[in-house]
Amino acid sequence: MPKVGFVSLGCPKNLVDSEVMMGILARSGYEITPRAADADVLVVNTCSFIEPARKESVDSILEMAEYKKFGRAQKLIVAGCLVERYRDEIREQIPEVDAVIGTGDVEKILAACEGETVHDSEPSPTFLYHDLTPRILATPLHTAYIKINEGCDHPCAFCIIPQLRGRFRSRRFESVIREAENLAAAGVREINLIGQDTTFYGEDLGLRNGLPLLLERLAAIENLDWIRFLYCYPNRITPKLLDTIAAHERLVKYMDIPLQHASRSVLARMKRGSNADAFLKMLTRIRRTVPGVSLRTSFIVGFPGETEADFRELCGFVREAEFDWMGVFAYSDEETAKSYACDGKIDADTIGRRRDELMAIQQKISQRKLRKKIGKTFTAMLEGPSAETDLVWTARIEGMAPDIDGKIYVTEIAGVNDSSELPSPGTMARIEITEARDYDLIGRAVEVFARPPRPNGLPEPATASSQPFPILA
Ligand code: SF4
């Protein structure tokens, strides 16, 4: 069987595309290998939304090209968002690349690997996978992403994602439900719903309140412990959505709402609208309707025309809003974004200073919030041995999303005397917090809950086999 190795870069939406491509190839007899040196075919699924991501993608392609020049690999395929921008340049400038497939051509991965000519798809990607599309999870087997929609119709001036991912399009309601049921039957305990804007789900299908309706149905799936959704658009946080989250235990008390800025004038230049006061009222409404909710957001600093006063307003807003998790991006001047034509560009040093200053404010907030958890006990999902050492496991409370938020380092698991007694990743436990760091916690599992039997009667996977399918490190 030919062996194929995948490098998957960028966001979870791109990871799902890699999982679909792995599924399509595995169904056709390919073996997925974690070692580039063993691969006959190498696939780099790229990211390209800002400069640092583009650089990482080009570096990865060139690294894999070395394996083709000096190793076993016969083919090098480049997929993803970089292709949507630089399809011809990649072909011209990196001769080791045998084929390029865009975000709309995911299903053409087999043809590309087989050396068939892959014709570029229509100008705007339209591909959307469904529950019968083969897919191999690259996440640990107790947690999985489900992409519920693709593309975006918002006009944010700094963003080129609509050019890379196409117009907004939702997956069929029942297809998402069936996929979630299949994943739960396969042992997945946590589902993370993703899309460019999950709060717009179903509108293009004529569904009103599509996301709350979807969440209600997903909350009824027996063997799921946690259902989370990421990437909310701020002006779509409806009372119906909040009431739905509050009404169902399986819907985690967690919201990810990228706000991008808080100054009215900067938000207007970003073509996003709103302002700090409106956002504070929204956060108060969320915290009142969903007690104990954890809130994540992200901001861009250095947008053209951002004055020191605008930045000060953003700092004041962050101090007042007290998010649990926050990301800050330095503005990246993308030539195909509307903001490229804006005046008032800001120098890199000022942008860097503002990013560091805003993160320093959040660091203090995070420390204070996490310290308040010391001595308390929380229900958490055990995730398995930490990347640092097998002696320490990691876990997450429902207020911690995978890959982007902090985690709990578990130094002790009650009732476990040797590795043979270790629970399966994805098992729920009560964890007493003993220490707090800037963004992580330390604790000990004082009680481990038995995992409910899998609906299909299949035995629980032994700890080792719950490792994710191999993506090249
Ligand atoms: S909503 Fe997000 S993906 Fe869509 S244009 Fe705005 S920033 Fe880009």
> Which of 152, 153, 236 most suits a substitution to test ligand 1, by most atoms within 8 Å of the C-beta?
152
Residue 292 exposed, middle or buried by CB count within 10 Å (0-12, 13-18, 19+) = exposed
pLDDT the model gives residue 389:
74
Q: Is residue 468's pLDDT more than 50?
A: no
The residue that leads in pLDDT, 473 or 271, is: 271
Average pLDDT across the chain, whole number: 93
Structural domains in the chain plus CATH codes: 3-113 (3.40.50.12160), 143-371 (3.80.30.20), 377-457 (2.40.50.140)
149, 156, 200, best to mutate for ligand 1 pocket (most atoms within 8 Å of CB): 156
Q: How crowded is residue 464: how many other Cβ atoms within 10 Å of its Cβ?
A: 9
How many whole angstroms from 157 Cα to the centroid of ligand 1? 9
Q: How confident is the model at residue 470 (pLDDT cuts 50, 70, 90)?
A: very low
Q: What mean pLDDT is predicted for residues 143-151?
A: 98
Would you say residue 419 has pLDDT above 90? no
Tokens of 21: 């491509």
Q: Is 148 helix (H, G, I), strand (E, B) or coil?
A: coil
- The answer to whether the beta carbons of residues 152 and 197 sit under 8 Å apart is yes
**pLDDT tens, 149-187?**
999 999 999 999 999 999 999 999 999 999 999 999 999
Contact 395, 431 (CB under 8 A): yes
Phi-psi region of 182 (alpha: psi -120 to 50; beta: other; left: phi over 0): alpha
| Residues linked to residue 396 through DSSP beta bridges, in sequence order | 381
CA separation for the pair 84, 164 (Å, rounded): 6
| pLDDT confidence tier of residue 298, bands split at 50, 70 and 90 | very high
Give the pLDDT score at 120.
64
Please name the residue that has the structure tokens 């009372």. 239
- The pLDDT of residue 10 is 96
The answer to whether 106 touches 134, Cβ cutoff 8 Å, is: no
**What angle do the packed helices 276-289 and 308-321 form, to 10 degrees?**
10
Tokens of 429: 């436990």
* Cα–ligand 1 centroid distance for 55 (angstroms): 21
State the Cα–Cα distance between residues 374 and 434, nearest whole angstrom.
5
Per-residue model confidence as pLDDT tens digits over 427-455: 999 999 999 999 999 999 999 987 655 54
On the question of pLDDT at 390 being above 90, the answer is no
Mean pLDDT of 192-209: 97
Taking a C-beta distance cutoff of 8 angstroms, is the pair 439, 400 a contact?
Answer: no
Selected residue with higher pLDDT from 421 and 19: 19
User: Collapsing DSSP states into helix, strand and coil, what is residue 436?
Assistant: strand
pLDDT of residue 123: 72
Contact 223/455 with Cβ under 8 angstroms?
Answer: yes
Q: Whose CA is nearest to atom 2 of ligand 1?
A: 196
Q: Over 60: is that where the pLDDT of 457 sits? A: no
Across residues 303-311, what is the average pLDDT? 98
Measuring from each residue's beta carbon to the nearest atom of ligand 1, which residues come in under 6 Å? 152, 154, 156, 159, 161-162, 196-197, 233
pLDDT for the residue numbered 417:
66
Identity of residue 123: P
How far is the C-alpha of 105 from the C-alpha of 179, rounded, in Å? 21
CA distance 23 to 87: 24
For residues 235-245, average pLDDT: 97
Query: Helix or strand or coil: residue 421?
Result: helix
Q: What distance in Å separates the CA atoms of residue 21 and residue 338, rounded to the nearest whole number? A: 32
Separation of 260 CA from ligand 1 center, angstroms? Answer: 10
Q: Residue 197 CA: which ligand 1 atom is closest?
A: 1
> pLDDT category, 472, cuts 50, 70, 90?
low
Q: Report pTM.
A: 0.93
Mean pLDDT of 357-380: 98
In the reported structure, the alpha carbon of residue 208 is separated from the centroid of ligand 1 by a whole-number distance in angstroms of 21
Q: Is the pLDDT of residue 462 over 60?
A: no
pLDDT at 421: 78
Taking CA atoms only, the protein residue closest to ligand 1 atom 6 is 156
Predicted local distance difference test score (pLDDT) of residue 285 = 98
468: left (phi over 0), alpha (psi -120 to 50) or beta: beta
Atom of ligand 1 nearest to the CA of 260: 7
Mean pLDDT computed over 109-116: 94
- Beta-carbon neighbour count of residue 235 at 10 Å? 12
Q: What is the pLDDT of residue 453?
A: 53
* Confidence class for position 75, pLDDT limits 50, 70, 90: very high
- 155 CA: nearest ligand 1 atom: 5
pLDDT in tens, 49-69: 999 999 999 999 999 999 999
CB 332 within 8 A of CB 305: no
pLDDT at residue 118, rounded to an integer: 79
DSSP string, 79-124: EEHHHHHHHHHHHHH-TT--EEE-TT-GGGHHHHHTT-------SS
